[in-house]
Structure 1
Amino acid sequence: MGICTSTGVIRDFAGPYFVSEDNMAFGKPAKYWKLDPAQVYASGPNAWDTAVHDASEEYKHRMHNLCCDNCHSHVALALNLMRYNNSTTWNMVTLCFLCLLYGKYVSVGAFVKTWLPFVLLLGIILTVSLVFNLR
């Protein structure tokens, strides 16, 4: 998960002490959620970019933790700093669910790449389960 600056440059907490620019850790984005800059509560003409910059600078000094302090947390900090939607309670779980609900796939291929492995794995599990239950 990453967050764009107002010029469209994606910032992504890609690893320990590293925030990438336009080179996401897991490849090109498959899904996006377009946020409304008018929802930024912080003052100043560059409040969005300032919050993204400050969150990125903070995460350049953090160890990446897959479960607790990751790219989702980086984006949440940026949204908290800008008080997006007048909120300072953004977190990785909230972002995950809201991206699932409001995110849009960049293409049909991105949708397939996202869901095909899950569907195949589920099919294998169900097939194996049925075979063993029929015995």
Structure 2
Amino acid sequence: MKQFHGGVSVGVGGGAGGAGLDPERCRFPYCVVWTPIPVLTWLFPIIGHMGICTSAGVIRDFAGPYYVSVSRSLFLYWKLDPSKVYSCGPNAWDTAVHDASEEYKHRMHNLCCDNCHSHVALALNLMRYDNSTSWNMVKLCFLSLLYGKYVSIGGFVKTWLPFILFLGIILIVSLTLHLR
């Protein structure tokens, strides 16, 4: 079955070992996922909520103080390559996601410094993804926006339309004040 994903037709479905994307079941194996945060994303569209998926596609995200959830909400996904995990064993990806989640179950959530992006960065650092231990929230923010694909056209519109409307209102008000 084919689905539309961010301008690219992608094969989806079960697949061996859970390797296929399955939007109907909200399963995105080996992906970093992102969803907007109401109001905050409307003002700053690059800011949102991030999670990381297991090899089975289950989303794990640091959702609040001392709480890592299993989520089903996403608008954007960035498919990563599990062969870039610098570790032995078939479960290296899942082990890193699990260990990062366990660590973040004991942390206070801080919107600016230690948040959902930091949780994902720790998982990627633990697995030494792409032979790197320098993953951080800023790097993840820009790379997920650069390489990510929207799950649907609706996801794209829901992410960007409020920001465009907000800019339009500012522009109209500023032009109105300038013409007086």
Per the alignment, residue 62 of structure 2 pairs with 13
Runs of 4+ in 1 over 3 A off after TM superposition: none
- Aligned with residue 43 of structure 1, among 65, 72, 88: 88
1:113 alignment counterpart? 158
Q: Does 1:64 align with 2:109?
A: yes
CA RMSD of aligned residues (A): 0.7
State the distance in 2 between where 1:3 and 1:98 align.
Answer: 14
Deviation readout 1:3-59 (Å, 9 max, x if unpaired): 011011110000000000134xxxx10000000000001222110000000000000
Amino acid paired to 1:102? Y
Instruction: Provide, for residues 63-103 of structure 1, a one-character-per-residue CA deviation record: whole Å limited to 9, x for no partner.
Output: 00011100000000000000000000000000000011000
| Aligned residue pairs, count | 131
**Residue type of the alignment partner of 1:59:** Y
Structure 1 letter corresponding to 2:96: A
d(CA) in 2 for partners of 1:66, 1:52: 21
Q: What percent of counterpart residues are identical?
A: 81
Q: Which structure 2 residues correspond to residues 27-42 of structure 1 after superposition, within 5 A?
A: 28-42=73-87
Secondary structure of 1:2's match?
Answer: strand
- SS of equivalent residue, structure 2 residue 161: helix
Q: Which has the higher helix share?
A: 1
CA distance in structure 2 between the aligned counterparts of 1:66 and 1:96, rounded to whole angstroms: 14
2: CA distance, partners of 1:35 / 1:52: 13
Flag structure 2 segments of 5+ consecutive residues without an equivalent.
1-49
Query: What's 1:55 paired with?
Result: 100
Name whichever structure is richer in strand by fraction.
Answer: 2
Q: Deviations over 1:85-134 (max 9, x none)?
A: 00000000000000110000000000000001100000000000001111
CA distance in 1, matches of 2:142, 2:66: 26
In structure 2, distance between residues paired with 1:44 and 1:83: 13
Separation of aligned partners in 2, 1:22 and 1:109: 19
Corresponding residue for residue 132 of structure 1: 177
Equivalent-residue separation in structure 2 for 1:72 and 1:22 (angstroms): 15
Which residue identity is paired with 1:58? E
Normalised by the size of structure 1, how large is the TM-score? Answer: 0.95
